[in-house]
Chains A and B, each alone.
Chain A
Amino acid sequence: MATTAVAANARRRSLRRNRLYLAGLTPAAFLLALFFVGPALWALASSFTNRALVGLDAANPRFVGLDNYIRLFSDPDFGRVILNSVVFVIGSAIIGQFVLGLLLALLLDHAQRRGFLATSLVYASVLLAWVNPTIIAGFLWVAMFDYYNGSLNSGLQLLGIGPVNWLGQGPMLAIVIANTWRGTAFVMLIFLGALRTIPTDIYEAARVDGAGPFRRFWDHTLPLLRPIAALTLLSVTIATFGTFILIQALTNGGPALQTEVIALYAYHEAFQNHAVGYGSTIAVVMLALNFAFAAVFLRWSRPRV
């Protein structure tokens, strides 16, 4: 009898304590509800209406069922937008940031082990491009890509090339270059961290066995980096998928939709065409795609919670 009384007492105490903890969670829960869960539900609700930014439909949005979704999936522009997003992600996240970041990490790790002093300068300059506010990155590359005076064309002309009309003729390449510049540090940092954890005696053993540098990289470094590489790849894909301000600053989706990615499309429909309901529909599709990627990420990484 005594033991059950003690147990009941303990349970009561823990329940009382739990109530305190629940109270401690309320400010955070309030903010998350207001700016994450709320907007997602608001977008979902609006996507079934003809809500507008101004005019009669702004005050009294009407329920239109699946009209917005039917319109979206028969919208030829939307196909273009999805294609642009895919090209942008493959170009800047996978080929640009990931490959360049991995190569830089290997180079810097090696140079640091050799004791080259310039290593930290290179490290800092890659980081600098990453920490500066995105809108500044946009401004810097607007100037770099300038047709008449830009540093890029001035430099190319010294080599006898150009001038290239970056933002007019090759806008996708331009935003891919700018986003690679901005995001490479993330991948580099992760691989630098991963490389430090590889025990060096593996290499010593391989060297004694007569394996060359390339062989050692292929047989030992690469397999150890593979799990982290998959996660990093997914991570930069998710981040690049949401890129907005950099593209808005450089091309604003133009010319003629050539760089219009999904985030810009939602914004333009809602704020320029005043079609908030339709813009919300695009946002819902974007969120759904994002959650699909994120779910895969969480499954693969199984974070310790």
Chain B
Amino acid sequence: MTAIPAQEQLAARADAAPLPRRKGRAGRLEWLAVHAVFLVVCAFFLVPFLWLLSAAFDAKAKAYIAFPAQPTIMNFVRIFTDYDFGRVLLNSVFVSVATMILVVFTVALAGYSLSRIDLRRKDWVMYGVLLLQTMPIAATMVPIYGLARQLGLRNSYLGLILVHAAIELPFLIWLMKNFFDSIPRHLEEAAWLDGRSRFRALVEIVLPLARPGLGIAAGLAFLSAWAEVLMVVILIDQDSLKTVPLAFYQAMRTQGGYTEVQYGVIAAMAIIYLLPVMVVFFASRRLMVRGLIGSTRGL
């Protein structure tokens, strides 16, 4: 769901005015109190990840944190030999990149067109688009399964790419429309007078100015296609089409019961699953924070 005003405030981000450091006993006490709280907060948020790291490199990983008694990379080797992870990774990269390209193309066209079109009740169209963004995937999961089965979109790359392209679309259309609204029309009109076609004017003059928006769209589309699991679970049951989220989901759910849980192997999978997310996110944190805040909804 979108928190629109907040997004603008984040974008405005007037820099926080520094406070003078307190001197003496009061200052030391404050430092101590703040850092004690920091320690608790960090423990809460980081311990699960520290465990993940220790388990992935431990031959006998258990559910508790311990420095690996037998440090090993065998867990990573095993997911490729026992779980055919090479194929899985390739599928995931293909689906995510294809989704990203489709989304950038679609939202650039749609955002630009919505920004420039003359409609009597354009604001209602925009409210409608925002309303779609609030629809939880969990609620449409059953009907999407039924529809995809009737349309023959199950067990195909095309179905996966289309559904992943659609998931963040309402928010991204809204975002891109606002980006294009801020680009004055006379720029492209001048290009038309120069004899450029409508399409060339859009590609050469307008799109370069909308680059931050296109960056958010590309990053968010890639992240969501890479990470999203529900749609993959209901659309794919052929092993040759499996992507990383599905492989992880299956590995996790078939464990337990009477067999000992292979925490090490699943943790290794989780790390490979997590790595691109962290790279994309922390490489362009400000854009991605903006994108993720706007598109947040339950998964």
Contact = CB atoms under 8 A, between A and B. Distances in A.
Contacts of A18: 117-118
Nearest to A234: B1
Contacts of B258: none
Interface in B255-299: 263, 266, 270, 273-274, 277-278, 281, 288-289, 292-293, 296-299
Nearest to A42: B143
Interface string B112-133: 1110111000110011011110
Interface string B15-31: 11111011000000011
Given A125-B45, A301-B4, A283 B139 contact: yes
Interface string A50-73: 010000000000000000000000
B118 to A, nearest CB: 6
Contacts of B5: 227-228, 231, 301, 303
A138 B270 CA distance: 11
Specify which of B113, B139, B228 lies most central, judged by the most chain A CB atoms within 10 Å of its CB: B139
Nearest to B141: A267
A297 B1 contact: yes
B17 A200 contact: yes
Contacts of A83: none
A28 B109 contact: yes
Given A135-B229, A242-B138, A24 B270 contact: no
A243 B9 contact: no
A214 interface: no
Given A32-B166, A181-B45, A196-B16, A244 B293 contact: no
A270 B142 contact: yes
Contact of A140 (B16, B48, B167, B174): B48
Interface string A185-222: 01001100111110010000000000000000000000
B17 A113 contact: yes
A25 interface: yes
Contact of A244 (B116, B289, B299): B299
Contacts of B277: 131-133
The SS class assigned to the A binding surface is helix
Nearest to A38: B147
A123 B169 CA distance: 29
Contacts of B42: 121-122, 125
A31 B106 contact: yes
B198 to A, nearest CB: 6
A194 to B, nearest CB: 6
Nearest to A130: B292
A246 B249 CA distance: 11
B274 A194 contact: no
Interface residues of A, number: 112
A154 interface: yes
B144 A35 contact: yes
A270 B277 CA distance: 32
A232 interface: yes
B83 interface: no
A143 B112 CA distance: 47
Contacts of A113: 16-19
A122 B36 CA distance: 12
Interface of B is mostly: helix
Given A107-B34, A151-B63, A114 B131 contact: no
Given A197-B12, A200-B17, 6 more contacts: A111-B34, A118-B35, A121-B38, A150-B64, A235-B3, A283-B142
Give the 8 A-B residue pairs with the shortest CB-CB distance, closest first: A242-B136, A242-B298, A24-B113, A28-B110, A305-B126, A263-B138, A39-B143, A146-B63
18 contacts: A20-B113, A21-B113, A24-B109, A116-B35, A129-B48, A131-B223, A143-B48, A150-B64, A189-B10, A194-B6, A197-B9, A200-B17, A241-B136, A243-B298, A276-B142, A291-B131, A305-B122, A305-B126
Interface of B: 1-6, 9-10, 12-19, 21-22, 30-31, 34-35, 37-38, 41-42, 44-49, 51-52, 55, 62-65, 105-107, 109-110, 112-114, 116-118, 122-123, 126-127, 129-132, 134-147, 162-163, 165-167, 169-170, 173-174, 177-178, 198, 223, 226-230, 245, 248-249, 252, 263, 266, 270, 273-274, 277-278, 281, 288-289, 292-293, 296-299
Interface of A: 14, 17-18, 20-25, 27-29, 31-32, 34-40, 42-43, 46, 51, 104, 107, 109-116, 118, 121-122, 125-144, 146, 148-151, 154, 181, 186, 189-190, 193-197, 200, 227-228, 231-232, 234-235, 238-246, 249, 263, 266-267, 270-271, 276, 279-280, 283, 286-287, 290-291, 293-295, 297-298, 301, 303-305
